[in-house]
Structure 1
Amino acid sequence: MSRFDHLDLDGHALELLLAVHEEGSVTRAAQRLGVTQSAVSHGLDKLRAIAGDALFVRSGRGIVATVQAEALAARARVLLDELRAFGQAAGFDPARWRGTLTIAANDLQRDLLLPALLRRLRAASAGARLCVIPSGAPQPALLREQGCDLVITPRPPEAADLLQKRLFEDRYVVWFDAAARKAPARRADYLAAEHVTVRHEDRRGLDIDTWLAEQRIEREIVATVPGFAGIAALLRGGPWLATLPSLLGRGALRGLAATELPFATPPMPMYLVWHRRRQDDPLHRWLRAELEAVAREAMEGGPPPG
């Protein structure tokens, strides 16, 4: 039985517990929290003494949570939300706030929005940190259980406890290497070409690929990669095409050529998604407002290159 009581706990200890639990690594938890590995190890030793449990044990090259740690992590999320609300009850001041905000985003959203968001956050709060994690094809658990503050996605998960807001809209274009091939001028050229595309690690494809299949627009897919960042290397020097959002020209596909599709397609919307419990949190309202401002500025920047 532990000789410690609840007064030995504080918000920093809870945040450390969640960081190690969600990262599955002391090293990554330290990077996320902006502290040394030894500080995380020392904090874990204190938590182990308080809980009377190992909390995390080695598994292969990483660590996994014990049953006790899983239960404590779930309660820690609730307690941290309550601590934030308590600390901000008298009014939220970004300049006085310190902490880490976790956003899930894939390549396009990450490159287009998050560098500018980080600059805005750090200008307003010297203690603000940003942790970016991949969203893939996001599931509700990402916001319910994994300490994620916001998800930016074209495919918002459907759940009664999640809220969403449209950030912007993009169109699909055909990407290719102009040094290796000509643009497909006609529908027949497009269909005769070989294509590359993205398939997330959970094996879910892009919405545009699903739509094309539903329209019986059949393409020969010769390669798939788990994210937009892998497309450029496949296209360069080859005859292949990729049907992807135009805004990738500002990031992952910069320097490649793009042309309009030889048929009309639906647009690609982009949504901001968060859990209902954070709706009225002043910190979260500030984060959402900053991200919306960044999205407006990005859309006012004119058409992407390509």
Structure 2
Amino acid sequence: MNHFDWSDLDARALQQLVAVVDTGSVTGAAQQLGVTQSAVSHQLDKLRAITGDPLFVKSGRGIVATARAQQLAEDARGLLRQLERFAHAGDFDPARWQATVTIAANDFQRDVLLPALAQRLREAAPGVVLRVIPSDVPSLEMLRDRVCDIAISPRPPEGSDILQQRIFEDRYRVFYDPAVRRAPATVQDYLAADHATVVYEPRRSLYLDRTLEAQGIRRRFVVTVPGFAGLPAFIKGSPLLATAPSLLRHSLMRDLAHAEVPVPCPTMPMYLIWHRQHHADASHRWLREQLLALAPAAVPGDRQGA
């Protein structure tokens, strides 16, 4: 039995516990938080004495968190958010904000919006770490359980406690390698070609593909990949076509040619999605405002898919 109690805990100890769990190493946690390794080790020793648990055990050349440490880190994240809200109850100053912000986004919206956000954070909120995770189709649980602070997706989940705001709308283009083939000029050309597309795991096709199929527009898919980032390698040097959001021509698809899709396609709206519990939080509101302000520069003149 130890002689410590909960009053010996402080925010610094909780923050360093979370950092070690997230990075998987004392060195990584120290670098992330800008402190020495010995400072992190000291806080871990203090937590071990308080909890009576080793917290981390050796695994190969690294360490892994015990089940108790994983649970404590999850609880600590909630406590740190509460402390952060307490500290920022008055005027919010992003320059003094110390936090890890988690945004769920798939490769398309990630590449379009989040590099600019990372730059904005470096300039205005240098104490913030941006953590990006895949969103797939955002679930209610992802937002309710604080797996992420914000999700960016064309498909917001339905729930009375979930809020959303549209940030832009994109159109689809057909991408191809001009060294191998010409753009499909007619519906017949388009349907006669072999196609590559995205199928998210486990086997969830794009809304576009389901919509065209429902309209009787049937294409022959010979390649499927789990994200848009996988398409260019299969299109380059082949006669394959890929129908994808037009904004990708500035990033993932920049080495390919593109043209109008010769069949009617739905548009792709994109939404910021967050839980109601964060709506009035000053830091969260500031973060949403940055994303909304950055969107026009990220998608200049692209609403028409030009």
* Both structures adopt the same fold (TM-score exceeding 0.5): yes
Q: Which deviates the most, 18-27 or 230-239?
A: 18-27
Distance 1:158 1:32 in 2: 35
| SS of alignment partner, residue 157 of structure 2 | coil
Counterpart of 1:54 in structure 2 is: 54
1:286 is paired with a residue of what secondary structure? helix
Once the two structures are TM-superposed, the CA of residue 199 in structure 1 deviates from its matched residue by 1.7
Alignment of 1:121-132 (within 5 A): 121-132=121-132
- Matched residue of 2:272: which SS? strand
Tell me what 2:86 maps to: 86
1:261 is matched with 261
Q: CA–CA distance in 2 between the matches of 1:204 and 1:156?
A: 16
Matches within 5 A, 1:198-217: 198-217=198-217
Task: Name the aligned partner's letter for residue 265 of structure 2.
Answer: T
Aligned to 1:172: 172
d(CA) in 1 for partners of 2:153, 2:139: 11
- Which residue of structure 2 lines up, in the alignment, with residue 190 of structure 1? 190
Q: For residues 97-144 of structure 1, give each alpha carbon's deviation from its aligned partner in whole angstroms, at most 9, with x where no partner exists.
A: 222222121222122111211222222123232222222222233333
TM normalised by structure 1 equals: 0.87
1:21–1:160 CA distance, 2 compared to 1 (3 A): farther
- Partners of 1:105 and 1:153 within 8 A in 2: yes
Aligned to 2:181: 181
**Structure 2 matches for 1:25-174, cutoff 5 A?**
33=33, 43-56=43-56, 66-145=66-145, 147-174=147-174
**Mean alpha-carbon deviation: is it higher for 201-210 or for 173-182?**
201-210
Unpaired runs of 5+ residues, structure 2, are: none
Deviation string, structure 1 residues 264-299 (Cα, Å, up to 9, x no partner): 111101111112211111000000000100012223
Count of matched residue pairs: 306
Provide Cα deviations, 1:231-276, integer angstroms capped at 9, x if missing partner.
1111000010111100111111112111111121111011111122
- Higher mean C-alpha deviation, range 271-280 or range 231-240: 271-280
Partner secondary structure for residue 164 of structure 1: strand
Q: Which moved more, 1:87-96 or 1:141-150?
A: 141-150
Answer whether contact 2:247 2:302 (CA < 8 A) is retained.
no
Whole-Å separation in 2 of the counterparts to 1:145 and 1:262: 43
3-state SS in 2 of match to 1:199: strand
Unaligned stretches of 5+ residues in structure 1: none
Structure 1 position 223, deviation (Å):
1.2
Q: Distance in 2 between matches of 1:305 and 1:140?
A: 31
After superposition, give the CA deviation of every residue in 1:182-204 in whole Å (9 maximum; x if it has no partner): 11111111111111111223332
Q: TM-score, normalised by structure 2?
A: 0.87
Q: Distance in 2 between matches of 1:133 and 1:246?
A: 23
User: Which 10-residue stretch deviates more, 37-46 or 191-200?
Assistant: 37-46
Give the Cα–Cα distance (whole angstroms) in 2 for the partners of residues 145 and 25 of structure 1. 25
Distance 1:249 1:170 in 2: 12
The one-letter amino acid paired with 2:184 is P
User: How far apart, CA to CA, are the structure 2 residues paired with 1:20 and 1:185?
Assistant: 55
Q: What is the CA–CA distance in structure 1 between the aligned matches of 2:180 and 2:146, rounded to whole Å?
A: 44
1:104 is matched by which residue type in structure 2? A
Distance in 2, matches of 1:305 and 1:26, equals: 47
Q: In structure 2, what residue type is equivalent to 1:154?
A: P
Residue type at the aligned position of 1:107: D
Inter-partner Cα distance in structure 1 for 2:4 and 2:133: 35
* Kept in 2: contact 1:74–1:145 (CA 8 A): no
Q: Is structure 2 residue 251 aligned with structure 1 residue 219?
A: no
Distance 1:190 1:160, change over 3 A: same
Paired residue type of 1:169: E
